[in-house]
Structure 1
């Protein structure tokens, strides 16, 4: 039980944003959750492996041009349009990884875990393979997580999953995505 307490603490260390997110959820084993990072990456579908790499390359490629002043504005705009094209293609490829029979909806997500609304109760400590589809970021995350909390609702359960196997760059992407959404929500609230 101490391990679950630690996982719940890890889950709560990160900011969670209330935002519906399409996810795929499948049962996993303890062996899946305790494999090495190299084994985990090998088991990861290829589209998920390249997704975060493409996102990282894009942000690094545009960084040098931002500080060069107005004379490069047209070039920066062109490169941003090219990046947008790539994002659309990557988004399409990642959507092919969405399996309808495993589809659920996350109600909150962040860098430490995700809360998924389910119709059935989940045993604390149970492991799951989760695919998170971040449409706004044209990215998707593949991870293994552990159920650390199960809250009964009138029409189901909110199950909190703490990540147990996730690549560092994917965790950073989740943190950035949650901050982008929070910024968008703040702007929306200020204009209303």
Structure 2
């Protein structure tokens, strides 16, 4: 699938955008993998383990004891809360931004500073569901005035692990499902 084929959702994720020097060269894949902070790797692995466990539990849930399922869900929720708290410590207020849209190929956010198309940034995305964080590089694809001395910046991921792309897809799908449920409830309320 071409990266441009991924859809984006309107959602406000906390991100850190660290502009890089003008002639910054992206690390090659092995160097990039070694550079990813250990906590981000752990979060990615935990999210993947949780996703696989959820699929297995869905298949076995009919034959399992409801009390056991509730207990496992509570334990999972506690672990997710702890993971979210620890990941929040990686958020640097000096680089903090909030997305307008995000997807598995790009994101947009409003910035007080204009950015030059083609420039590189180091990027951290903090996901709520699944609870995880993504460390990657992105390039400025577009920067347009948005009024009130702000600029809408579009970042296109330039170094991103495939597992993290899957996380972004799942996070976007979760938000999309949530929006669809809200619309269905509004329709039912209006009838």
When normalised by structure 1's length, the TM-score is 0.88
Cα-to-partner distance string for 1:38-60 (whole Å, 9 max, x where unaligned): 21121111111111100111122
1:150 is aligned to 2:143: yes
5+ long unaligned stretches in structure 1 = 1-9
Match for residue 91 of structure 2 among 88, 98, 107 = 98
Residue in structure 1 matched with residue 10 of structure 2 by the alignment = 18
The 8 Å contact of residues 52 and 139 in structure 1, kept in 2 or not, is answered as yes
Matches within 5 A, 1:35-74: 35-72=27-64, 73-74=66-67
Match for residue 179 of structure 2 among 185, 188, 191 = 185
SS of alignment partner, residue 189 of structure 1: helix
Shift of residue 190, structure 1, vs aligned partner: 1.4
Shift of residue 11, structure 1, vs aligned partner: 5.8
> What is the RMSD of the two structures over their aligned residues, measured on CA atoms?
1.6
Shift of residue 173, structure 1, vs aligned partner: 0.6
Residue in structure 2 matched with residue 125 of structure 1 by the alignment = 118
* Separation in structure 1 between the aligned mates of residue 122 and residue 51 of structure 2, nearest angstrom: 28
Residue in structure 1 matched with residue 159 of structure 2 by the alignment = 165
Q: Which has the higher helix share?
A: 1
* Separation in structure 2 between the aligned mates of residue 16 and residue 163 of structure 1, nearest angstrom: 13
When normalised by structure 2's length, the TM-score is 0.88
1:81 is aligned to 2:82: no
